[in-house]
Chains A and B, each alone.
Chain A
Amino acid sequence: GAGVSQSPSNKVTEKGKDVELRCDPISGHTALYWYRQSLGQGLEFLIYFQGNSAPDKSGLPSDRFSAERTGGSVSTLTIQRTQQEDSAVYLCASSRDSNYGYTFGSGTRLTVV
């Protein structure tokens, strides 16, 4: 597609529920990233996928967070047993190669109540 597409744009969930956030990267972009943006914390790296290589999960804050990328394209970020501190904007980005600068999606605003 023309840009990075994220869905849903907004998600309100009850504490303890699981949520799935979806990212469709730009066609042909081999690298895909997830970042979290929250007040006072700035932008935090979560996870990185590059082609068929094992993902870099070093930024995931706890084992409640996981992500997968199917067929080298669409990615899903899953948060299990959501907590109020998970409330943030989750941003996905893709690039055609590392260190080239990312193209970001508009993000998913997650609110845990």
Chain B
Amino acid sequence: AQSVTQLDSQVPVFEEAPVELRCNYSSSVSVYLFWYVQYPNQGLQLLLKYLSGSTLVKGINGFEAEFNKSQTSFHLRKPSVHISDTAEYFCAVSGGSNYKLTFGKGTLLTVNP
């Protein structure tokens, strides 16, 4: 079985500040890792994914994440956030023959002027 823990339910930051949203996972098999963003009243949009290869993954809107196998983490970072980044962010994991995505509870990122 797999599980995902997003360590912060809410993260408030000021515009142009850096941000890190934390995600830890547990799995008994090799994993694929994903970050999704959900803007108000919209579906989830894929930000980035780790399938294999380089552990530093770059996604859309200037976000990146680093896969750390020893720490079972996949933290999401952005060096300078904008007001428009205000949204809920979900970390998800799948792996092996398990095609289902297991999601974390989400982190609400609020960017203040």
Contact = CB atoms under 8 A, between A and B. Distances in A.
Contacts of B104: 42
A42 B95 CA distance: 20
Interface of A: 4, 6, 31, 33, 42-43, 45, 48, 50, 56, 59, 91, 93, 98-107
Q: Which of under 10, 10 to 19, 20 to 34, or 35 or more describes the interface residues of B?
A: 20 to 34
B56 interface: no
Contacts, number: 49
Interface SS of chain B: strand
Contact of A99 (B43, B45, B94, B106): B94
B106 A42 contact: yes
Contact of A104 (B43, B49, B102, B106): B43
Contacts of B103: 42-43
B105 A48 contact: no
